[in-house]
Structure 1
């Protein structure tokens, strides 16, 4: 039986990047009818073994398919709709913490316009090659050798609002690549304010190129304060794991660590948990999206879900009585679909902690911002501009 916890000192918030659970009602506007990241992966693989998330209530979420429903789950659970217009990482994470994006970030299905190309080449002193939507691995096969011979930068985009710069680490040193990205970020403003400029370093030889873990995202600075800023203002820690710091351009973050892969992200989260600092540990596990969703690697995606589920028991075991765990996603990226882009989906939500009730079905929530608003209430800091807190529904009665 759970005891009464008078105060909550810390929230561990883990985003399983792209782990959606079914097309949103407006998915037709995005070309995503039928998308269902969890459900379609489970169907393709003949099932998924996710006992720890199922124990928290994953299979009890309204509308979910492909995972097992259990009697008396120990967590609280829901599915969340995205209120903002878009289906990208920045839009999803920003909405979680209180920023509603009414207008989608600009995309470039025909490549970047001449004025951007000219400004970029002038600023960085190197030519641009590529300049089209492309798979990050395919464009290396196409242009990697030319880049190595000329030093020209491979620039490409996708269906998302991104300006991606690929460079071989032995041709363009990492610090130079990051500096180039900062210059690009300063150019891409106004009508061309893409959500993210991304450094995509790689190594290897023609025919055998590999992207490294030294990726960096240079995101737009959030236009106004979020729950992260409100926590920081109240002398609470905001510890960012993975690409969280990049998504928010460091705004509202008190300390950060970047990660090599999902398992490193879990390790770093556990290390922060050992430090026993009050506030928020905010983790993004990007492999689901970057390595498997965008590459349509159904088998690896399924294994990645099972690997995370296997580590979840460690996270729960490391929690203190004054900790709360949130697990969610920021959009979908169904690897079974013909395309390689994000998918407009509901996302699952699980919450667990000794301070919370068990088996609470929160139904379907209208906005990701409900998570951020709940965190604001948990820590009694200033409310964010969007979202409705559900803390009253999940907290143990005093």
Structure 2
């Protein structure tokens, strides 16, 4: 289950905008009545220019132009009541109001064009991001899965963190990783790792071989990207954890490439699955199969394994304290991976002072379901 926040539809803002039209209309009515009742030496007509100006701040050119026309009509009525439309004072007010209305209508038109361009760019960006970081299925074999992604870059849905799952004939393979850096600049490296994982997860015989393939696939590109960028930014690398959960049995296999250890949630305990010999992050070493080994950990029906990235642990509160993920996960008393991530997401954002993160954060929760009973034999 994907717990990404969704944007509201385009129709969600129409009702408030229509309600806002009452403000400039009320302003026109108020100024018109006050101007007609004011002494001959007092002229309130210039205040009518505020109506189209206010309208342009939230409405399109047609509505803004229409509001300007209403304001001009109101000024003409005031001029007829108080004297003559051809009077120099009233004529100059009418001309000035027409010019202001034309100007703000043009401004509303330019703003609308710009907004349409931004909507189109955002749609393309979101489509590209969905291709890079595909939502995980809620059920993958005997597993129930949920995921959440919190991007640090404003306006983004993904950044430098990554996760993916692949179904194999013998089980399910998953990867979670963290590209050095954050935000949209790291999306390319994340896409590189995800593409290599999806291409090889079904072909490589075991996890060490899969990790070696990922290293061979991403290392040259990371070196090229680093050589073309700023040398002062340091080496490019990717921490990652790869899991394999066989369909049959009560264990999982784990290879860690410099990534934070997953948490095994069982009852009211959160146990880190720390491997004895972690491998270096991808892109920092020439990994070979004989140097890698997958460590086995128990994974019983009803257990939940929580994968996460550094952005979760490094979230700070107002006092500078890091987010205590293990304690908060152990204290959770809900049911199912989707409920767990929904709870942790809100708790993580509440932990920060501004409900924003300094780094991208991703979490994936995996629950092993009880095996289905064998089908009964007919007589």
TM-score normalised by structure 1 residue count: 0.26
User: Structure with the greater relative contact order (CA < 8 A, sep ≥ 6): 1 or 2?
Assistant: 1
The structure with the largest alpha-carbon Rg is: 2
TM-score normalised by structure 2 residue count: 0.27
Higher fraction of helix: 2
